[in-house]
Amino acid sequence: MGQTAWGWLIAIYLFLGGLGAGSFLMAAFFELSGWRYRSNFCPVALVGATVSGPLVALGSALLIFDLGAGRMQPWRIFYMFTHFSSVMTWGIWILTIFIPLALVYGFLELMESEAFLKGFVSARAPWLLRNARTYRRWVAAVGGVFAVATAVYTGVLISDVGPAIPLWSQPVLPFVRIPMLPILFLISAVSTGMGLTFDISATIADPEIQRRFRIMDLSHIFLIGLENIAIGLLFISALSAGGAAAESAKLVLYGPLAVVFWIGVVLVGLVFPFVVHAYAIGRGQHSLTSGVGSGVGIVIAGLLLRYMIVYAGIPAAL
Amino acid sequence: MSDTKLSRRTFLRYLLGTGAVAAAGGVGVGLAPAAQTALARTDAPKARYALIIDTTKCVGCGACVHACNIRNNLPEGKSYVHIVPKDDRGRQWFLPVQCQHCADAPCARVCPTRATYRHESGVVLINEKLCVGCKYCEVACPYQARTFDEERGVVDKCWLCLDWVSEGKDPACVQSCVLGARIFGRLDDPNSEVAQLVASGKAKPLHPEFGTHPAVLHYIIEGE
Ligand code: SF4
Ligand code: SF4
């Protein structure tokens, strides 16, 4: 298959970075739009805020585990903060800022719903509880910017290798020099985040919530459409570019990665959730199975998308 | 240099210079390869080099690969030079590829730690003490010139035997090529064979469309 330097650890990292960022964005959106206050309990805000930090931190741990000398001599990791022409240096900075913000956000959410934590905080730092809403909104707003940065940078990281791996650096459109992967990864980050926080958690916590936020079904369908267009354009441009880019596309479309792509990404991650959400719009509500099912499908497909992109990266021919 | 009158002062300076080089050489003996790289970095003359590969002469025997592997003590299955077999409409030929020492080196640009850097001679080197082994450079090199050393956890590649080169010797691959397909010399000396081949346009960079402006490696490829 494609390049061999980066493998599944990197694929999982790219996925977890996107999933964590997307979950944060969902929570922040429910916070800042005021939607979370439509009921006294908002599973999207709670789950989104609490899982995002740990997910991204886990991904970063995998990233460190994939290092050579940096794993054996961890102080070398500090050198990675120093070279700003490298997207990896930006990434390290983004993660260093985003992970603590997300962990703080998770704490602020948990603090109010966990009785134990609430008691602890009100005894030690009552001011924190009094102004919780203000703090939460600030963390959501600032963290939201870094969440977008996290999701986008994972795509910039691998598209910045330029001519070395033509599939990764395919432009959005011919003559538009913006690479497609950062955009595709951002779309996928938001939709996996939605799948995790809304489809899965909200349906389990309170199936009634679906009636209140039917816009989520529409958003899913919109994102699925966008992702379809992005993936379609990526492979059309790869095929028409010829060379290693076209080889990569063939690997995915009818080569060894075809099962991952057609069944994992397309069927499980696009067609099935589309049908489920379209049906839910007609019916006015999800069932527990359809909500959880589509969420799980979207999240799994998000992982397989990263896996497929990483392994389909064929180096330019010499 | 032949008709220079050797004044006493210049003579003394030469003597001192030779002494310094000899001392540096003495220090260099017994140093680990990484330290030798550092030595080459600080003491190499401000020269520009060129290595030209004449693919009309190369038969793909792999002597350069072996010489390089022995020189750099590489384990089985790894090498800094690989020979790409080519088949252009039935005509077989061989393209030896190694680090092209790009002037706009993507490996150096993407390296988060500055471990990969460009020496003033144009040779691209890796400071192994800084490398974290993220392999970003390996992915970003369009010539697939980099390998990962599992044992030390760092990336390595052709360094043009810069220690030998700064002593005026040829790199191992050049010494080993019996067919004379590898021509090495100083680009900053307009009379050298390499400078003339490059100036005449006979020797060209490989894959200029990558946009990395290979600075040291050039190729003579005919009948493509
Ligand atoms: S050939 Fe590869 S490793 Fe060598 S300088 Fe160019 S990009 Fe870097
Ligand atoms: S593997 Fe080492 S030399 Fe290569 S980019 Fe990472 S830190 Fe730099």
- How far is B217 from B224, CA to CA, in rounded Å? 19
DSSP A176: E
Phi, psi of A285 (to 5 degrees): -165, 155
Check if A243 contacts B (Cβ < 8 Å): no
Q: Among the atoms of ligand 2, which is closest to the Cα of residue B130?
A: 7
**Minimal C-alpha gap between B41 and chain A (Å):** 20
With 70 as the cut, is the pLDDT of residue B41 above it? no
| pLDDT tens track for A275-305 | 999 998 888 778 888 889 999 999 999 999 9
* B103 alpha carbon – ligand 1 mean position (Å): 9
Asked if B139 and A82 come within 8 Å (Cβ–Cβ), the reply is: no
A247: Cβ contacts below 8 Å, ≥ 6 apart? A314
Secondary structure (DSSP) of A203-238: HHH-TTHHHHTTHHHHHHHHHHHHHHHHHHHHHHHH
Closest alpha carbon within chain A to B107 = A161
Closest alpha carbon within chain A to B105 = A161
The pair of structure tokens assigned to A94 is 């983004």
Asked if B115 and A79 come within 8 Å (Cβ–Cβ), the reply is: yes
The complex's ipTM works out to 0.94
Give percent above pLDDT 70 in chain B: 79
- How far is B146 from B148, CA to CA, in rounded Å? 7
Does the Cβ of B146 fall within 6 Å of ligand 1?
yes
Ligand nearest the Cα of residue B146 is 1
Asked if A89 and B112 come within 8 Å (Cβ–Cβ), the reply is: yes
Highest mean pLDDT of the ranges A2-6, A258-262, B163-167 = A258-262
Between B198 and A211, the more confident residue is B198
**Minimal C-alpha gap between A23 and chain B (Å):** 27
- State the average pLDDT over residues A135-143: 96
**Which residues on A lie below 8 Å from B154 (Cβ)?**
68-69
**Is A171 strand, coil or helix?**
strand
Does the Cβ of B123 fall within 6 Å of ligand 1?
no
* CB-based contact B105:B212 (threshold 8 Å): yes
Give me the pLDDT at residue B164, please. Answer: 93
Asked if B153 and A68 come within 8 Å (Cβ–Cβ), the reply is: yes
Check if A159 contacts B (Cβ < 8 Å): no
Q: Model confidence at B125, in pLDDT bands (50, 70, 90)?
A: very high
Does the Cβ of B136 fall within 6 Å of ligand 2?
yes
Q: Model confidence at B37, in pLDDT bands (50, 70, 90)?
A: low
Q: Average pLDDT, whole number, for chain B?
A: 83
- How far is B28 from B37, CA to CA, in rounded Å? 10
| pLDDT tens track for A186-224 | 999 999 999 999 999 988 988 788 778 888 999 999 999
Count Cα neighbours of A16 within 13 Å in the Cβ-side half-sphere. 20
Q: Model confidence at B45, in pLDDT bands (50, 70, 90)?
A: low
Does the Cβ of B174 fall within 6 Å of ligand 1?
no
Nearest protein CA to atom 8 of ligand 1, as residue: B107
Check if A165 contacts B (Cβ < 8 Å): yes
Does the Cβ of B143 fall within 6 Å of ligand 1?
yes
Q: Model confidence at B224, in pLDDT bands (50, 70, 90)?
A: low
H-type helices in chain A, by residue range? 8-32, 43-65, 69-72, 87-113, 115-124, 126-130, 132-159, 180-194, 203-205, 209-212, 215-241, 243-253, 258, 272-283, 288-311
Asked if B132 and A69 come within 8 Å (Cβ–Cβ), the reply is: yes
Q: What is the DSSP pairing of strand B116-118 with strand B91-97?
A: unpaired
**Which residues on B lie below 8 Å from A162 (Cβ)?**
106, 140, 142, 210-211
Give me the pLDDT at residue A190, please. Answer: 97
Chain position carrying tokens 């020496």: B119
The CA-atom distances, in angstroms, between A301 and each of A218, A255, A268, B197 are 19, 18, 6, 54
Give me the pLDDT at residue A228, please. Answer: 96
- State the average pLDDT over residues A14-18: 98
Nearest protein CA to atom 4 of ligand 1, as residue: B99
With 60 as the cut, is the pLDDT of residue B12 above it? no
* B44 alpha carbon – ligand 1 mean position (Å): 20
Check if B114 contacts A (Cβ < 8 Å): yes
Closest CA to A85 of B144, B124, B107: B107
- State the average pLDDT over residues A20-28: 98
